[in-house]
Amino acid sequence: MNTYSQGKLQAYKDKNENRARLLIKCPDQPGIVAAVSKFLSDHGANIVASNQYTMDPEGGEFFMRVEFDCPDLKENAERIELEFLPLASRFQMEWKMMYVSELKNMAIFVSKEPHCLLELLWEWQSGDLMANIALVISNHETAREMVESLGIPFYYIPASKEIRKQVEEQQKQLLEQYDVDIIVLARYMQILTNDFVKGYENRIINIHHSFLPAFIGAKPYERAYQRGVKMIGATSHYVTSDLDEGPIIEQNIGRVDHRDNEDAMKKIGQSIERSVLARAVKWHLDDRIIVHRNKTIVF
């Protein structure tokens, strides 16, 4: 890790040593916001951000994200979580408490095309991607030099559908070794098995080079060109067992016309892919996403 990135990450951790985020999903009913606010106040916390959304105030699902500062948070975290349990039970909450200074460990999977990987590395180098990039795994050697030059471990594991399970066992061992919290598929052109995906539910983020649900699967730029589209796009989503159909986190588009062939569309699309993936990853790292069925609520 270069000293600039290391300094940025350490400064972020120090600044946020007493900050936490609380994500809540539960049936909507009166009093949720008041009860959560009172609980935090009673524990000496100061709310610095609060967002809520209801799918229907009459019996719909309610979502909430609260960010707060609390003195001596590390020493009091276990007690706060324990004492929150009765309130969570009362409102039938699914909830998670995340501590901002505990940076997530990220693994990046990549194949031949490095543009999305390079975007993430640049964001990380510049101090705008708050995570530990623990390792990069690839089925090609293309990105080795650019990764190892930053002091990040690089693992080359050849992959194909014939040896998929064997490859995933090697990958799982590395993910466990590095205690990985989130996996980013930065144009990793291999399909993951259901068993692999289940082990990291809502923790694998993919970038697909089309504006889903259009052009699911392989060669979307070629198919877009053949179809004569006037817009192309990119979609970042959580990976599920259904190919390119997981909960969508972020999307964007760019205009094209009859003069743009497949190569031109690909060049335009790569710029969109990079920014869409980077935003989705940052939102996940900032604990801004709550998954509900096959949708996301992004605060």
Residue positions counted in the chain: 299
3 state SS of 175 = helix
Spatial CA neighbour of 216 closest among 190, 178, 254, 242: 242
* Residue 273 near residue 209, CB atoms below 8 Å: yes
Tokens 């940076």 appear where? 103
* Catalytic hit among 42, 72, 128, 244: 244
User: Known catalytic residue: 242?
Assistant: no
DSSP E strands in 157-271: the ranges are: 182-185, 204-208, 231-238, 248-255
Q: Phi/psi of residue 76, each to 5°?
A: -105, -5
Residue 280 corresponds to which amino acid? A
Angle at 239 between CA 235 and CA 243, to 5 degrees: 80
Q: What 8-state DSSP symbol labels residue 103?
A: P
Q: Fill in the amino acid letter for 60.
A: G
Distance of CA 87 to the CA centre of its chain: 28
What residues act catalytically? Answer: 244
